[in-house]
Each structure stands twice: as structure tokens, then as C-alpha cells.
Structure 1
């Protein structure tokens, strides 16, 4: 009975959160921003920097583009959805940079950066921003990129998305005030706390396993502080193993061996696993998770849909890139109309979605409570191969 009540409470809290979400609406007419050209009459020049190749970064970029189109800032996106389907942020950028998308905005051809690309360093990007001053706004994706570019060494306007916790990582001073006139970062400060609390209320585990890199930045994007806080509140134990994230392609073999060894150990010690955001290729997950299937251990994904599709039991998705893109586009529009990034609202809570993999549930003999069944948003029938 206690478990049923707990499940009902957490589901109600999730639904209430969803009801309070602010959604940016469509409906802006063409030429609504005729007074917002740059003073010299040229287009606003936008650049982009991402921490690495990551599906959330690409989906957020796509969401922002669609949001800017809905608000009338850009147009002429014939064929964009075909390019977006590749989920290749560089290909998407090339498409945007080589089209006339209207009189207001230009996506700069050589303004795309991925910090994992060979020869790309944060220092060189900051130097370009300070020395050339040829970019008006940088779209920045991820914690590492946000930390690297939210510096006082330049004054180019920085808009940071998809950072795990922009306050804790030092990108901004607080939810209310970024602390720098040229810096803005999206914040949903309780999203990972909501995730892990929901998982505990549903599964009622006593020992949860985590594998992450032992570094300050990894603790932030792996939500370690949030899990530790809830462990104190709920009285469960955390069993953790540390691995070194791969920085180059030749390191992936070593990395996956370390992850598999850690998972093998965890399967002997825990009754639930929290898979943190990491450099795990989705097609390798069924093999990596095999020890958990054998021991009937539920696996919860911090990342979201793609890991549930490929072998995690469930997730409470906290990334709604469509509506986050609309919020981001609306925020960028306000900047283009004259508001400093520091003065813009940074907090936006996305609607959570419950996603489950039915094949995994069957593998581990997980009995889905009826109260959970009626609020599940999406079910994958099988593990993707």
C-alpha cells in the first residue's frame, strides 16, 4: 500500500509540473521585427559551440531553429527537416549557413565549433570572439562549452543550453542573475532531482549503482549531488565506480572495457542502477546492460528516450527540446530587440515524460504498477538492435 501511495504521489507531482509548464506559442507574422535590424543595417551573426557530439545538443538546436521560424525571425527553410533528421549538428549548421533565411539573422559559415574536433580549443574560440568581433551571439550547448565561453575575456553574447546545472558549474551566478551582462543560460534547477525521486518512489531501491568520471564537471552533469541529497533524505545507499571518459577515438576501447567491468561489479552489489549522462553509444547498451538483466536489476536512464529504446528499463524525460527551443527562440528574440542577456529570464521547466521499455520489464520480471501504467507517455515494445 505504501508503494502504491508513493507512486501515486510522484505521478501526481509530475502531472502538476506538466500543467505549470509555460509553452511559447506560435503566431508571429512576417516583418514583425522590422525595427530590430542592427544599427548598421546588417544581419545579426550567430555562431555555435557544442561540448561534443550529443543528441540533446542537436535536438535543442533544431528546436531553436523551429522556434525562430515560428516567431518570424527566419524563413525559407525548405528541406530543413530532411537535414535535421540526420541529427548531425554540423550538417544542420552547413544547411543554415548556406541559405538566405531572411533579412534578420545569418548563421556564420565558419562559426561552428565542436570542442572534441581536432584542432579546436576554447582558447582559440575566445580569442576569435575578442579579436575579430564578427559574431553577435553564440549558441552554446553543454556544460563544458558553457564553462569555456562564459568568460570575461570577451564580450560576445553567450546563450547556453543543455548544461546540466549552469549555476553549480559556474557558468552563471544564480537562476535570477547570470552575473555577466553578456551571458545567459537556461536553468531547470530541479530536473534531475525530480528524475531520481520518481525512480526511487517507483522502484523503492535500497542500493543504487552509478558509474561516472571522478571530476568536478562530471559530478555536475551526472547529477551526483542530487542523488547524494536524495540518498540522505530517503535512506538509500549509493555504490559508485569511476571511469575516465574518452577524449579521442582510440580511447573508446579502453573506456567500454572499464564501463563493462564496473557494470559487472555493480550487478553483484545493487538493486537498481542510475545510468548517468556519459559517452555511451546506444547500440552497445544491450551488451553493457546484460549483467543487470541477468540479476533482474532495473536500469534508469538520466539521458532519456534513446537509452530506454536501446535497453534501459525507464526514464523520466526532462528534456523537451521542442518547447525548450521555443523558449530559447523567444529569449533570443528579446535580446535582438534590445534586452541584455543578463536581464532575460533563465528558468524554464520542461514537461516531464515517463518512458518505458516493455521487453526490458519482461526480462527483469518488473511488475509495472497500475498507477504507473495509466500515466506512461511512451512505451518501446522491444530493445532496439
Structure 2
């Protein structure tokens, strides 16, 4: 299969023009300089639905942002094994800081086990109501939904959610709905992704594998895909997976099965965020798509392009969103209520492309695409 060899500038211009979002500014002026908590350190806790590589990366970049602001001594963060945050959290507790403590016994995870989520949530909320934590990180959609309520009043920062608006974590971009809740949101991120992918590849049948649940459809930004399908006239070819489960081998197998089913039927695949798309499975998924000449777009970001998917919007290793989170934390410690702070964050508009995958699937990247790419990969890592 051969794809377009030239491209108009419409999609590139669309990328470069920021969307106007009401309520995108702080409701006041708040400092970010390091301050003590009445002579003590600020105590931070953490809650996640389960292990996921983006959570590890977002936490790491947030910590780097706090280091840059002077809240934590600048220290080299060691490479982390797997997708966990638990070991990283214990390491963070030992990093020197006059201002912040990552409380060692305040790391909570439901391990993607739905049967345990309510129990872990109750345990976390009980801890928050003891008021021995000054700020809680709710990492991901499950944790964000569990803590975005009035069962506690601890400042809670919801990070790394696919769509906190669609999942009801926040009321709007301008208003989380609770004084103590803040959720970083980019309401146009997935719209940009699918538009750019369609402009570049021109697919008629887009494959999407996702868990057919409320959370799964949210992770996949299915409402956005369906809207653009109607607007642009392409078909959605669906395949259902398992995602939010504790057995990752089952989740991985379900995605691989879907890729094998989709590849002969579609001319592009939108690779959505879910448990079965991870470090263990990506190589197999890339091979299935590439063997069938199917271009892919990673919803997650450039790291998956490095591993072999064709395209994504670059996230610069989550650096920019980490800096945004760090500034938000700092403002809360300086007296801001979470709901007084801007929740809207938009990544700098750049592309990531894997040229080896482009060669395999017969895609000749336009010069405009290469000019807009700040992450270009020339090979696919060995399994």
C-alpha cells in the first residue's frame, strides 16, 4: 500500500494554532517559590488504579519540574524497572528536600482489580480525612473518579487522565466542581490527533480496539472518533478488548487478537490507551500492523513511536506537562485552592514519526511532516 506523497499545509496550520479555551487562566496571582508548611515539610500521597508506564513517566517529569522550581534538591532520577511507581515512590522519599516529603506509607494502588478498587478508595479517603497529608496525587481516570468528590477536602491533583470531562471527574475546563480538586485537561488533544492522522494518511476505514465499557470508551476518546467519522466520512471498524483487569497477559492477548482481526480490514489503526498496550505487547502489535502495511497512530505519545508505531503527537517525554503539574503543586503550597488554578494544558504542537515503520508500510513522509517532527526515529527496537 502506498500513501500520499505530498500534503497541503492545512493540518500543520491547525496544529500550530492554539485553541481558545474559556477559563484557561488562574483565578488570581499565586507564587511558585518554595515555602515551608509552618516550619514543616509538605506531605504528599499518591493513588493509582494500577501500573501504567505513562503514570511512571508523568510522576518522574513532575518531580523534575519541582526540582527545577527549587522544591526538591536536583538529583538524577534512576531508570525505573517495568511500569511501576511503587519503587519510584520509595526512592523519592529519600531525595533531599527542605520543603516536600513523599510520604512512604501513602502510596496506594488498586492493581487494576475492580473488586479491590472500592476498598482501596475507602482506605485512601479515610487517610485523607485524618489530614496528615497536604496534597494527594490521583493518577489516572480510576483514581481521579474515586477521589473527585466531597468525601474529603484534601487538595487533590488528578493527573494523566484521558478525558476528565467525559468521565465526570471535573464539571468543566474552568471549574472542577470542588474547591479541593484540580484535573489537568486538554479537551482538544484527541481531536487534534485524529484530524492530523486523517489529513496525513487519508484513511477510509479506521481500526479502533478498545474495552467496551464506560472507562474503555473514554480512554479511546470514542466520542471524538465518532464525531470526526461523521464529519469526515471515514468508517470506524471496532474490536473489543479487555483493559482494566489485574491479569495483564489476558489484556495483552485481547489487544493482539483485535489487531489481527482489524489489520486485514482497515487502512489505518488508532492505537488507544489501555492496559493491553504496554512494553510487553507493543513489539507484537507493531509487527502485526507493519506486516499488513497498516499505518498506526499512537494515542499515548512519542515513546510508542520510538517502539515502532508510525505517528503520534510528540509529548517531549512528558516534560512540559510535568512542568505544568509542578507549578500547580507549588501554587497550592503557596495558598491557592486547586479550583482557583487553570486546568487547561495544551502540549506544544510537534510530531513524532518512525521512519523505519514508514518504509515497511510504504508511507513516504511529506517534507512538511518531517519539518513538524521534533522526534524522528529511524529504526524499530529488537524484541
Counterpart in 2 of 1:49? 47
Q: Which residue of 1 aligns with 2:333?
A: 336
Describe the SS at the equivalent of 2:77. helix
Within-5 A mapping of 1:53-202: 53-75=51-73, 77-78=74-75, 80-82=76-78, 88-102=84-98, 104-116=99-111, 121-130=120-129, 132-202=130-200
Seen in structure 2, the aligned counterparts of structure 1 residues 145 and 74 have a Cα distance that, compared at 3 Å, is same
Corresponding residue for 2:378? Answer: 381
Quote how far apart the aligned CAs of 1:4 are: 7.7
Contact residue 155 and residue 180 of structure 2 kept, 8 A:
yes
Please state whether the residue corresponding to 1:82 is helix, strand or coil: coil
- Aligned counterpart for 2:351 among listed residues 354, 358, 376: 354
Q: Is the 8 A contact 1:7 1:372 kept in 2?
A: no
Number of equivalences: 365
Q: Supply the RMSD in Å over aligned alpha carbons.
A: 2.6
Whole-Å Cα distance in 1 between the matches of residues 158 and 316 of structure 2?
A: 15
Question: How far has the Cα of 1:122 moved from its partner?
Answer: 1.5
1:15 aligns with 2:16: yes
Question: Aligned equivalents of 1:83 and 1:268: distance in 2?
Answer: 38
Deviation for aligned residue 1:62 = 1.6
Give the conservation status (yes or no) of the 8 Å contact 1:212–1:243: yes
- 8 A Cα contact 1:263 1:289, kept in partner: no
Measured after TM superposition, the shift of residue 268 of structure 1 is: 2.3
Residues 71 and 84 (structure 1), Cα distance of their counterparts in 2 relative to 1, 3 Å cut: farther
What is the Cα deviation at residue 305 of structure 1? 2.1
In structure 1, distance between residues paired with 2:254 and 2:102: 40
Q: 2:230 aligns with which of 232, 237, 241?
A: 232
The answer to whether the 8 Å contact 1:208/1:274 transfers is yes
Counterpart Cα distance in 2 of 1:5 and 1:99? 50
Residues 314 and 352, structure 2, Cα contact 8 Å, conserved in 1: yes
Question: TM-score by structure 2 length?
Answer: 0.87
Structure 1 stretches lacking a partner, 5+ long: 23-28
Following superposition, the deviation at residue 283 of structure 1 comes to: 4.2
Higher RCO (CA < 8 A, seq sep 6+): 2
Aligned to 1:261: 257
TM-score, length-normalised on structure 1?
0.87
CA offset at residue 37 of structure 1? 3.1
Q: Does 1:278 align with 2:274?
A: yes
Hey, what does 1:26 align to over in structure 2? none
Note the C-alpha offset of 1:295: 2.8
- What is the CA–CA distance in structure 1 between the aligned matches of 2:310 and 2:33, rounded to whole Å? 47
Superposition deviation, residue 164 in structure 1 = 1.0
1:248-274, CA deviations, whole angstroms, 9 ceiling, x for partnerless residues?
23xx44333332332222122211111
Structure 2 segments unaligned to the other structure (5+ residues): 25-30
CA 1:319/1:217 → structure 2, altered by over 3 Å: closer, same or farther?
farther
Instruction: Give the stretch that moved more between structures: 329-338 or 286-295.
Output: 286-295
